[in-house]
Amino acid sequence: MQSIIGVLILLALFIANVYLYRANKNTPLPEGCENLKPDCAACGIAHCAIRDQKGSEG
Amino acid sequence: MNLFTMFISAMLINNIILTKFLGLCPFMGVSTKVGPALGMGAAVLFVITGASIFSWLLYTYVLVPMGLEYMELICFILLIAAFVQFTEMFIKKKSPKLYQQLGIYLPLITTNCAVLYVAQDNITQGYNLIETIVNSIGVSAGFMLMLFIFSTIRERLRGNDVPKAFQGNPIAFIIAAIMAVAFSSLAGLV
């Protein structure tokens, strides 16, 4: 019985995760936040592929 | 231990970054500018406090009565991930300005081990709900403070002539080590 309750709790948390993930994805971004990107200058990884790509584009 | 002592202890003396070496990824990654550092600090403060409260409630009122204490780790991980999703969605809907500042950092917090550590530590130490809230705010305020101090130092470093071999992360780790030594002097404060 105890293990069944344990599985049910895990299942409930997993379903909550999936539901919130989908709800979050479906929530429209606020105005002006459509193209938010992390600032590469704020990141310490100097040899990141994204940073190199941005550098060559710019 | 009274609540004020607990807060100071969690924030300065047992600082999660300098004494436990947790949350080093955002500490190194998001600390080269003051703005993003403060944004990350605020996001971590909100998530650690919220996730700790929910974890405590889940443990005390669900897992303990059912005799399922051994499931705390996996339950807390799922709870933290769900809480971060909920927080992101809530901020998107209710505060676009805050989302503009924190939005990109919120998903990173799911993988911040400091959040899980605080949730588990509150249980291990046997704190009640009020103590859990105070300890969580203290730990995350310490995280935010360190991130702020570290980012101001790194901003000033940009204008300095650092030897090539030490540029970037090496000099950042040396600074972090010096900060750790400095803060260890607070050990006798409480």
Give the pLDDT confidence of A7-31 residue by residue, as tens digits.
Answer: 999 999 999 999 999 998 898 887 7
Contact B144, B53 (CB under 8 A): no
Per-residue confidence (pLDDT) for residue A58, from 0 to 100: 41
Range of the domain at B130: 3-188
**Residue of A21, A31, A34 for testing the chain B interface, max B β-carbons within 10 Å:** A21
Supply the pTM of this predicted model. 0.80
pLDDT higher for A10 or B184?
A10
If pLDDT is split at 50, 70 and 90, which confidence band does A38 have? low
* Domains in chain B, number: 1
Cα separation, B150 vs B172, in Å, equals: 8
**B75-105 pLDDT per residue, tens:** 999 998 888 888 888 888 887 777 776 666 6
Per CB-CB distance under 8 Å, the chain B contacts of A10 are 71, 74-75, 78
If pLDDT is split at 50, 70 and 90, which confidence band does B29 have? confident
Closest approach of B29 to chain A, Cα-based (Å): 5
Per-residue confidence (pLDDT) for residue A57, from 0 to 100: 46
Chain position carrying tokens 């605080």: B118
Average pLDDT over every residue of B29-55: 84
Contact B148, B34 (CB under 8 A): yes
Give the highest mean pLDDT range of A36-45, A47-56, B160-169. B160-169
Nearest Cβ partner for B81 among A5, A17, A36: A17
Q: Residue B13 is which amino acid?
A: I
Report the candidate in B76, B74, B77, B102 with the shortest Cα–Cα distance to residue B88. Answer: B102
Chain A / chain B CB contacts < 8 angstroms: 87
Half-sphere exposure (Cβ direction) of B41: Cα atoms closer than 13 Å: 25
